[in-house]
Amino acid sequence: MEKAEAKTRIEELRNTLKEYNRRYYVDNSPVISDMEFDFLMHELETLEREWPEFYSPDSPTQRVGSDIEDNNKGGFVQRAHRYPMLSLSNTYSKEEIIEFASRADKILEGREFSYCCELKFDGTAICLSYSHGLLVRALTRGDGQKGDDVTTNARMISNIPQHLKGDYPEDLEIRGEVLMPYQAFDKLNEERIRQEEAPFANPRNAASGSLKLLDPQEVKKRGLYCTLYHIPAQSPAASLADSHSALLDKAAQWGLPISEHKRICRNIDEIIEFIDYWDVKRKELPYATDGIVIKINELDCQRDLGYTAKSPRWAVAYKFKAERACTKVLSIDYQVGRTGAITPVANLEPVLLAGTIVKRATLNNAEQMALMDIRINDSVYVEKGGEIIPKICGVELSLRPSDSRPAVFPSECPDCHSPLVKAEGEAKYFCPNSKLCPMQIKGRLLHFTSRKAMNILAGESTIEQLYNLGLAKSPADLYELTAPELLSLEGWKERSALRFLDSLRESKKVPFERVLFALGIRYVGEQTAKEIALHFGNMDKVLAAGEQELAEVKDVGDVIAQSICEFSADPQNRREVERLAASGLQMEVAEQAGKISEELAGKIIVISGNFSVSREEIKTLIERHGGKNSSSISSKTTFLLAGSKAGPEKIRKCEELNIPIINEEDFRKMLPEEMRKEEIVSELSLF
């Protein structure tokens, strides 16, 4: 390879890997497999060794992939790690494990040492700090030097202890992984699919996304689980033992969640035996693992081996190859969702994969179908591994029938036959016949009755029956059903009719934000509906709001604002809302529960920058004292609460509009005297 060619390829790989890192760590939506990413990284490492003149400290080979969002859009305060939080070098080759052991033996000059072999958990990294036995901080890996402060959310994970027990050290830092067990993952994805939201590809993405949610109570519902596996050798607590495994045993005695699946190995043969055992046995675990971590066990050896720019020299990860199978595409269905989105689904010849029979695989959209050129009767490779949702990852072209033809994405709705449309910038095609398309109508009814919306006892078969008989064409029709009507239907008994009508009556108590979510406005998810409801207070104000006013609400951008305005402008939608209101549904926000005072009543506050506590705690504080949070500066803003590194654009706009800018100290003086202290403010996050 010529020098110019090498430089071009290095730059190309760096840009590509940075983008893949962002998709993986920030968006929690990877676009390639771990193995494909690792191969690209190894190619870059090789080129940089061959052409050292192109060294760059910003190269992905020199930096840990960062989960910190640009401009801190995630709303979390960043704090520095006491000790760098690095990633592990990894390999798919047992020969490279032998090379790792040989290098360590050479550097340690023949000293005797052992290996601690552990499962490599497929989750998101976390660092916990305890002071005098109390949990005081939880940070994500971030960029290795600093991480997002997710302490409030970590407190919502049931097996992370708030207080240590026994003879614990005064100061302790311990690191590990936050996981989402398969059972919680399946439950979450089932709910997301019902709401026509994109399901998480795997438990790691779901765990990472859940840990960074802005609502701690929502984090609590996600069923996250933590396992801890490392106390930094340079930390004070490491002086309590001579080996890594002994430290972990002590941590377990202090009440910390330490994995029981570790083994001390004395040689390579024992390491390989451990790898081979868990490559099979891991399929029985209730959570995802993707490899084995091999660590030099003795802490003095770890200190002597030291670190590279991004990885410890005393540890390596062996990664399992993703399990895949080859099967045939029997047919392709095109499903119509409640928003009109058309989703292609491949029906497969049943195949056993990772312990389950796989029969279907979502193809996402027309672009993916065209990109992979998936055809009926093709033999395709289906992969799970860490991907719990079956994914077609390739076509075996050598087995393609000679008379095969490319799959043709439909030009009209498979249900109502309306011509499909595709908006600019969107990947999916949509059926525009939202008022008359049967699948869309039934989809909206199912969404309206779902647990997170109105929680009405009506499954798919009930909705199908009521729709086909003309008894329910819209949500408001449900509230006009009577017991005699229901008892006249096939399969309905007195008990089932009474339970259904009772659930309708109970749904009238559902708070306004869930009613707004239940309406099924395109792009308005559960959290967005809550923000809109809190901002406007009642349905009349939501329907009267313009795009600019809507766009000022947290989590609402131009696309969502436009969608809400289109909904509001439709006379049929307005009549539907009027009918629901007349049926007794909640159309305004109830008096805020748990309010402490009215000191900030009537004040619209925008916050920017970093504070002594997390932004979410500041926002909760504002709401609990009667104030309203807003995401952007407008003429209605009362003041900007500016922390360190406040956004210059927000400050400039405040100066233009003559809006006061106050700091955290002055803000606390507005609160009742007994609520001004930082430690009391922090307690609010636990409500």
CATH number where 333 lies: 2.40.50.140
CA distance 388 to 254: 34
Do 300 and 252 share a structural domain?
Answer: yes
pLDDT at res. 649: 76
Supply the pLDDT for residue 684: 34
Cα–Cα distance between 651 and 655 in angstroms, integer? 6
In a domain, 407, yes or no: no
The whole-model pTM stands at 0.52
Indicate whether 14 belongs to any domain: yes
The verdict on 262 and 309 lying in the same domain is: yes
Structure tokens at 515: 């009613």
Number of other residues whose CB lies within 10 A of the CB of residue 83 = 12
pLDDT single digits (tens) 330-386: 999 998 988 888 989 999 999 877 656 788 888 878 887 888 888 999 999 887 644
What is the pLDDT confidence band of residue 679, given thresholds at 50, 70 and 90?
A: very low
Is the same domain home to 443 and 556? no
420, 430 contact by CB (below 8 A): yes
What pLDDT score does 683 carry? 35
Whether residue 680 has pLDDT greater than 60: no
Q: In the listed set 452, 472, 507, which residue is the last one of a domain according to the structure?
A: 507
As a whole number, the mean pLDDT across the chain is 86
Q: List, for residues 494-510, the tens digit of each pLDDT value.
A: 988 999 999 999 999 99
Rounded distance between C-alpha atoms, residue 532 and residue 544, angstroms: 13
Q: Which two tokens stand for residue 544?
A: 């009267």
Q: What is the pLDDT of residue 278?
A: 93
pLDDT of residue 686: 30
Q: Which residue has the tokens 């498979």?
A: 414
Q: Can you give 610-635 as a three-state secondary structure string?
A: ECCCCHHHHHHHHHHCCCEEECCCCC
The CA distances from residue 236 to 82, 145, 262, 302, in Å, are 12, 19, 24, 15
d(CA 593, CA 623): 10
CATH (domain of 518) = 1.10.150.20
Q: Taking residues 321-337, what's their average pLDDT?
A: 88
Whether 449 and 473 map to the same domain: the answer is: yes
Binned at pLDDT 50, 70 and 90, residue 674 comes out as low
pLDDT of amino acid 535: 87
CA 361 to CA 391: how far, in whole Å?
6
CA–CA gap between residue 183 and residue 222 (Å, rounded): 10
CATH number at residue 194: 3.30.470.30
Residue 594 lies in a domain: no
The token duo for 490 is: 């096939």
- CA distance linking residue 496 with residue 465, whole number of Å: 14
Are residues 132 and 254 located together in one domain of the fold? Answer: yes
- For 195, residues 6+ apart whose C-beta sits below 8 A from its C-beta are 447, 450, 452, 525, 526
Active site residues: 120
Q: Say yes or no: 311 and 220 in one domain.
A: yes
Q: What percent of the chain has pLDDT over 70?
A: 90
3-state secondary structure of 663: coil
Going by C-alpha positions, the residue among 618, 624, 610, 595 that lies closest to residue 682 is 618
Residues 152 and 179 reside in one and the same domain: yes
**Are 310 and 341 found together in one domain?**
no
Quickly count: other Cβ atoms within 10 Å of residue 170's Cβ.
Answer: 10
| Greatest pairwise CA separation for the chain in angstroms | 88
170 with 266, same domain: the answer is: yes
Question: Residue 28 falls within a domain, yes or no?
Answer: yes
Alpha carbons 107 and 116: distance in angstroms, whole number: 18
Give the model's pLDDT for residue 389: 66
Residue 312 contacts residue 343 (beta carbons within 8 Å): no
Per-residue pLDDT at 85 exceeds 80: yes
Q: How far is 513 from 537, CA to CA, in rounded Å?
A: 9
In this structure, of 186-195, 207-216, 230-239, the range with the lowest mean pLDDT score is: 186-195
Residues 145 and 288 in one domain: yes
Contacts of 254 (CB under 8 A, 6+ apart): 164, 165, 166, 167, 168, 172
Phi, psi angles (nearest 5°) of residue 55: -55, 140
Q: Compare 633 and 73 and report the one with higher pLDDT.
A: 633
Handedness of CA 129, 135, 140, 145 (dihedral sign): negative
Scanning the structure block, which residue is given the tokens 């927000």? 650
Q: What is the pLDDT of residues 510-543, one digit of tens each?
A: 999 999 999 999 888 887 898 899 889 899 999 9
Q: 635 lies in a domain?
A: yes
159-183 pLDDT tens trace: 999 999 999 999 999 999 999 998 8
**223 and 366 share a domain?**
no
Q: What's the rounded mean pLDDT across residues 546-570?
A: 88
147 DSSP β-pair partners: 79
Among 552, 582, 612, residue at a domain's last position: 582
Which domain-ending residue is among 507, 529, 549? Answer: 507
Answer yes or no: is 653 within a domain.
yes
Backbone angles phi, psi at 112, to 5 degrees: -80, 135
Q: Strands 324-336, 315-319: parallel, antiparallel or unpaired by DSSP?
A: unpaired
| Number of domains composing the chain | 6
- In 508-614, where does DSSP find H-type helix? 512-518, 526-536, 539-544, 547-551, 558-569, 571-582
pLDDT value for 474: 94
DSSP codes of every residue in 271-327: HHHHHHHHHHHGGGSSS-EEEEEEEE-BHHHHHHH-B-SSSBTTEEEEEPPPPEEEE
Burial (CB count <10 Å: 0-12, 13-18, 19+), residue 496? middle
Which stretch of 231-245, 401-415, 666-680 has the lowest confidence by average pLDDT?
666-680
**Which carries the bigger pLDDT value, residue 640 or residue 73?**
640
Per-residue pLDDT at 654 exceeds 70 = yes
**Contact by Cβ (8 Å): 151, 138:** yes
Write the CATH number for 39.
Answer: 1.10.287.610
Establish if 429 belongs to a structural domain: no
* pLDDT tens string 383-437: 764 455 678 888 888 899 999 999 889 999 999 999 999 877 677 899 999 899 9
| Position 282 confidence tier, pLDDT thresholds 50, 70, 90 | confident
Cβ pair 311, 417 in contact under 8 A: no
Phi, psi dihedral angles at 119 (to 5 degrees): -70, 145
Strands 262-265 and 115-121 turn out to be antiparallel
Q: Which amino acid is at 287?
A: Y
| pLDDT over 90, % of the chain | 44
Band of residue 645 on the pLDDT scale cut at 50, 70, 90: confident
pLDDT score recorded for residue 440: 94
- Decide if 591 is inside a domain: no
Q: What is the DSSP string of 177-241?
A: EEE--HHHHHHHHHHHHHTTPPPPSSHHHHHHHHHT-S-HHHHHHTT-EEEEEE--TTSGGGGG-
Measured distance CA(233)–CA(175) in Å, rounded: 12
Q: Could you give the CA distance from residue 13 to residue 19 in angstroms, rounded to a whole number?
A: 10
Using the predicted structure, report yes or no on whether residue 64 has a pLDDT greater than 70: no
Q: What pLDDT shows up at residue 675? A: 56
**pLDDT value for 339:** 85
Q: Determine the pLDDT at residue 486.
A: 93
Separation of alpha carbons 210 and 199, rounded Å: 13
Mean of the pLDDT values across residues 462-481?
Answer: 95
Range of the structural domain that residue 390 is part of: 324-399
**pLDDT score recorded for residue 356:** 65
- 301 pLDDT higher than 60: yes
Sheet of strand 342-353, all strands in order from the earlier edge strand to the far edge: 356-362, 342-353, 324-336, 379-383, 391-395
Cα separation, 87 vs 147, whole angstroms: 14
Residues 295 and 347 in one domain: no
The domain spanning residue 635 has which CATH number? 3.40.50.10190
